[in-house]
């Protein structure tokens, strides 16, 4: 493998005292795993990353909308055809709602095929007087509360690669092999959501789209773009060993790309300006996301942008705000105003999940759907008032009928959480709640486009939008 000329070495990165990293008992074993990872083929290709960066430039310019969603933390056991298909059809259904209702192209990015590592607020967990290392995702250790399972194991990084490869292979087969064909859109939600309020509304919308497609085909316009979609993968770039090992030099441009995923973000806990994660990600050519929590100042956001994207390249940087429903209207305006006044055109995306977590009376970590919607509305309120573009949403969701977040049209209450609480980390929206969210986001997008006038409109034919 060629040298990575412009990249800091792993030794350089560890000298910066990176946060949220595993502690391996045998550093030599970790070194051997990294060596093995470097020899494996890339999971994504540099050209695909360039395509996504171009599409995110459209988001930043107010000409497209980003839908990013998937599991809080993927698991190796969750790499099944049914699980991947369910998440994909949920995202496709949401995208269809947003595209048709708001008449803007939707950039579809899965929080999948790499989201196996999680930052934690504490290094350890105590149960019944026994203290063990905290579960940090399947990339680091196991969920079972035993000393053996909770040991930090570098071999798991090879498991991340294999699981991500299997996921990407199946996703590519689905989105290019007929599953994403708009003519099959009824089947995406043909079971339990059909009788839910969001499901009924979805069936009505798809009937309208079918009539539009029939008209287009009757006019002799046939496009492959209604039969396939462009779908990209993303994850938090947390494990320095894994992300560094998966960074390769592109043969076309001779520049480094992180080939573990198309879009990689830096988390709220690891976005230190002089930290290892910012240092690594500023060198790669992928589009990069940065989570901005309630402690973020406008100056911090600008400094991060200057550090990661000194040239102000369109589509290079996405700010993902996660401030909480009760704070976003107060904290976000100053950040957006000052970043915009600097002349930077970044993509603004709302993560309405992480700032709205609480513990239920019966001991479950949960989120209220009403808080999620309130933060989304606050995000749109701020951007509509400032005349900036609300560029997307970043959602933790699943394609299954879980009971992890309270509220929504099904009116889940805390007592319902125990029936199907399956997440190993943070609570996710189920498919009904995700679809319900999509309709509400679509309504706000329509309002935002209308408030900006016809100039905000883009091509509105179904073939162009679906791609």
Binding residues: 72, 111, 268-269, 291, 322, 354, 396, 426
Helix (H) or strand (E) holding 125: strand 124-127
Q: Using an 8 Å Cβ cutoff, are 263 and 287 in contact?
A: yes
3-state secondary structure 427-439: CCECHHHHHHHHH
Residues that constitute the known binding site for Mn(2+): 72, 354, 396, 426
Tokens of 117: 């590592």
Tokens of 401: 């009928």
Please list, in sequence order, all residues whose beta carbon lies within 8 angstroms of the beta carbon of residue 219, skipping any fewer than 6 positions away. none
Q: How do 106-111 and 231-236 pair as beta strands?
A: parallel
Tokens of 330: 């107060």
- What sign does the CA torsion over 294, 300, 304, 306 have? positive
> How many CB atoms sit inside 10 A of residue 188's CB?
24
Picking from 21, 131, 101, 60, the residue whose alpha carbon sits closest to that of residue 349 is: 60
Q: What is the DSSP letter of 42?
A: P
Checking 378-383 for CB contacts under 8 A at 24+ apart, the result is: 378/325, 378/328, 378/329, 378/332, 379/321, 379/328, 379/332, 379/348, 379/350, 379/352, 380/444, 380/447, 380/448, 381/329, 382/328, 382/329, 382/332, 382/333, 382/336, 383/336, 383/348, 383/448
Tokens of 326: 């009760």
3-state secondary structure 3-19: CCCCCCCHHHHHCCCCC
Residues forming a β-bridge with 288: 264, 317
- What sign does the CA torsion over 258, 261, 263, 269 have? negative
Q: Give Dmax (Cα) for the chain.
A: 72
Q: How do 247-249 and 256-258 pair as beta strands?
A: antiparallel
Give, in order, the Cα–Cα distances in Å from 326 to each of 118, 152, 314, 358: 25, 37, 31, 13
Q: Using an 8 Å Cβ cutoff, are 116 and 161 in contact?
A: no
Residues that constitute the known binding site for phosphoenolpyruvate: 111, 268-269, 291, 322
Tokens of 50: 């360039």
Q: Using an 8 Å Cβ cutoff, are 321 and 379 in contact?
A: yes
Alpha-carbon 390 to chain mean position: 16
């Amino acid at each position: 493998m060629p040298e990575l000329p412009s990249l800091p070495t792993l030794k350089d990165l560890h000298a910066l005292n990176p946060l949220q990293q595993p502690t391996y008992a045998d550093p030599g074993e970790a070194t051997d795993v990294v060596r093995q990872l470097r020899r494996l083929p890339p999971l994504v290709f540099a050209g695909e990353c360039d395509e996504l960066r171009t599409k995110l430039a459209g988001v930043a310019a107010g000409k497209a909308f980003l839908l990013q969603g998937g599991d809080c933390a993927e698991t190796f056991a969750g790499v099944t055809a049914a699980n991947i298909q369910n998440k994909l059809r949920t995202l496709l259904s949401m995208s269809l709602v947003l595209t048709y209702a708001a008449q803007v192209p939707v950039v579809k990015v899965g929080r999948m095929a790499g989201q196996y590592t999680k930052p934690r607020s504490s290094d350890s967990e105590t149960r019944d007087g026994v203290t063990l290392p905290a579960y940090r995702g399947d990339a680091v250790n196991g969920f079972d509360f035993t000393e053996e399972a909770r040991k930090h194991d570098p071999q798991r990084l090879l498991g991340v690669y294999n699981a991500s490869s299997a996921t990407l292979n199946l996703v590519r087969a689905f989105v290019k092999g007929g599953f994403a064909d708009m003519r099959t859109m009824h089947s995406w939600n043909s079971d339990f959501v059909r009788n839910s309020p969001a499901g009924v509304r979805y069936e009505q919308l798809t009937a309208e789209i079918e009539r539009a497609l029939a008209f287009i085909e009757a006019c002799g316009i046939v496009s492959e773009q209604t039969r396939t979609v462009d779908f990209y993968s993303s994850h938090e770039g947390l494990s320095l060993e894994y992300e560094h090992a998966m960074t390769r030099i592109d043969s076309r441009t001779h520049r480094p790309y992180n080939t573990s995923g198309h879009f990689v973000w830096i988390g709220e806990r690891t976005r230190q300006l002089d930290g290892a994660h910012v240092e690594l990600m500023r060198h790669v050519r992928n589009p990069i996301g940065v989570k901005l929590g309630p402690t973020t100042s406008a100056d911090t956001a600008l400094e991060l942008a200057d550090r990661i994207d000194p040239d102000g390249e369109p589509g290079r940087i996405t700010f993902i705000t996660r401030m909480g429903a009760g704070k976003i209207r107060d904290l976000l305006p100053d950040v957006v105003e000052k970043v915009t006044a600097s002349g930077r055109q970044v993509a603004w995306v709302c993560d309405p999940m992480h700032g709205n977590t609480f513990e239920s009376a019966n001991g479950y970590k949960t989120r209220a759907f009403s808080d999620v919607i309130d933060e989304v509305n606050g995000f749109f309120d701020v951007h509509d008032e400032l005349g900036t573009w609300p560029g997307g949403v970043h959602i933790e969701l699943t394609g299954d009928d879980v009971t992890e977040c309270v509220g929504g049209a099904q009116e889940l209450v805390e007592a319902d959480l125990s029936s199907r609480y399956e997440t190993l980390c943070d609570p996710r929206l189920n498919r009904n709640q995700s679809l319900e969210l999509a309709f509400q986001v679509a309504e706000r997008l329509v309002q935002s486009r209308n408030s900006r006038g016809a100039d905000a409109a883009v091509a509105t034919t179904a073939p162009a939008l679906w791609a």
